[in-house]
Amino acid sequence: MAAQRVCAEAELAVSTAMKVVLDGKPIAVVKDSAGQVHAIGDTCTHGDISLSEGFVEDSTLECWAHGSKFELATGKPLNFPAYEPVPVYTVTVDGGDVFVDPDAVITP
């Protein structure tokens, strides 16, 4: 399936995350502190926690439950207790809208 519009870029403030579900996949759409938009799997690999309820810091998204930080570009956790990466999806910003392709997994 092709990329799907998830929101207007203006709806996503810097250093915030928004949960969307595309094709049944929970995805965190995140604008990092530099203003770049990312999309990663929303479910923490340590527990059934929505990462979009966590904290954006620089280019990471931190799980609020036990503090693992996931790198937005790679989906990799930078610290325990999570040790498995979340998927990373292709994001396109076009005409002020954000599009995510739920089939285009960049990593792992």
Q: Using the minimum distance from each CB to ligand FES, give the nearer residue, 42 or 101.
A: 42
Q: Using the minimum distance from each CB to ligand FES, give the nearer residue, 35 or 64.
A: 64
Q: Using the minimum distance from each CB to ligand FES, give the nearer residue, 70 or 99.
A: 70
Place of tokens 């990593």: 107
Amino acid 75 reads G
- The tally of CA atoms less than 13 A away on the side-chain side of residue 13 is 4
Phi, psi of 83 (to 5 degrees): -135, -5
Phi, psi of 90 (to 5 degrees): -70, 130
Quote the least distance from Cβ 71 to ligand FES, whole Å. Answer: 14
Quote the least distance from Cβ 35 to ligand FES, whole Å. Answer: 26
Q: Among 42, 34, 47, 43, which Cα is nearest to 17's?
A: 42
Quote the least distance from Cβ 79 to ligand FES, whole Å. Answer: 9
Residues that bind ligand FES (CB under 6 A): 44, 46-47, 49, 63, 65-66, 68, 81-82
Contact predicate 60/45, CB 8 Å: no
Quote the least distance from Cβ 40 to ligand FES, whole Å. Answer: 13
Q: Using the minimum distance from each CB to ligand FES, give the nearer residue, 7 or 65.
A: 65
